[in-house]
Amino acid sequence: MRCPGCHTILTRIEQENIKMQTCSNCYGTVIQRPALLHLLHTDPYAATRESGGTPSSLADLAAIVGESDTKQIMPCPQCSHSMQKDRVHPMIPVQLDICGPCMLYYLDVGELPLVRQLYWELQHSTDERVVAIRDKYAGAMMGMERQREEAGTPSFGGVGVPMGTLGGLSMEFLRTVSLAELLGMIN
């Protein structure tokens, strides 16, 4: 499989028992959606702590991503169809490249630690604005759940979190919160 960003042949690696592929040239990452969701629910600081290192700050990661983020549409490394820009989670305002049919994400350098740390901080923040976002999201999810039960439709691919827009979820209130605003609330 080749990197959709720079066409270098990807390297298979395993990080925290999760299989993914990385690009040795641009440091992009290709990862399956269930694996990425699993990582979101795992402490993003554990590996750095164990190795005695210091994790990058959210501000530093956001700056890296601001520079690395690919704006053009890229082909899926697996099926070659155009990938879409979407969030991995409605609460995380970072646009990733995803192939819906393959359930495959491409993340530019810095995006993987950024979305992981953001998700972790969002879940643990006690800032009242963040708590309000979490409450609204939970309310919207419950509404979705009810609708789904009434319509008898299956859940989001069995992975528990709807895709940003691909899930067809109306979460406009989340879309008005920018990454900069969110970082201001967390720090």
Contact residues for Zn ion (CB under 5 A)? 3, 5-6, 8, 23, 25-26, 28, 76, 78-79, 99, 102
Strand segments, DSSP code E, in 66-165 are 84-86, 96-99, 104-107
With respect to Zn ion, which residue has the nearer C-beta, 26 or 183?
Answer: 26
With respect to Zn ion, which residue has the nearer C-beta, 84 or 140?
Answer: 84
* CB neighbourhood size of 88 (10 A): 26
Work out how close the CB of 28 gets to Zn ion at its nearest, in angstroms, rounded to a whole number: 5
With respect to Zn ion, which residue has the nearer C-beta, 10 or 174?
Answer: 10
Q: Are 155 and 161 in contact (CB under 8 A)?
A: no
Work out how close the CB of 111 gets to Zn ion at its nearest, in angstroms, rounded to a whole number: 13
Work out how close the CB of 1 gets to Zn ion at its nearest, in angstroms, rounded to a whole number: 11
Work out how close the CB of 34 gets to Zn ion at its nearest, in angstroms, rounded to a whole number: 15
Work out how close the CB of 122 gets to Zn ion at its nearest, in angstroms, rounded to a whole number: 28
With respect to Zn ion, which residue has the nearer C-beta, 55 or 157?
Answer: 157
Longest distance between any two alpha carbons in the chain, whole Å: 50
With respect to Zn ion, which residue has the nearer C-beta, 3 or 64?
Answer: 3
Q: What is the 3-state secondary structure (H, E, C) of 4-47?
A: CCCCCECEEEEECCEEEEECCCCCCEEEEHHHHHHHHCCCCCHH
With respect to Zn ion, which residue has the nearer C-beta, 22 or 140?
Answer: 22
* CB neighbourhood size of 116 (10 A): 21
Beta pairing class for 18-22 and 29-32? antiparallel
Work out how close the CB of 145 gets to Zn ion at its nearest, in angstroms, rounded to a whole number: 28
Q: Which two tokens stand for residue 149?
A: 């039960």
Residues in the chain: 187
Q: Report the alpha-carbon distance of residue 178 to residue 87 in Å, rounded.
A: 12
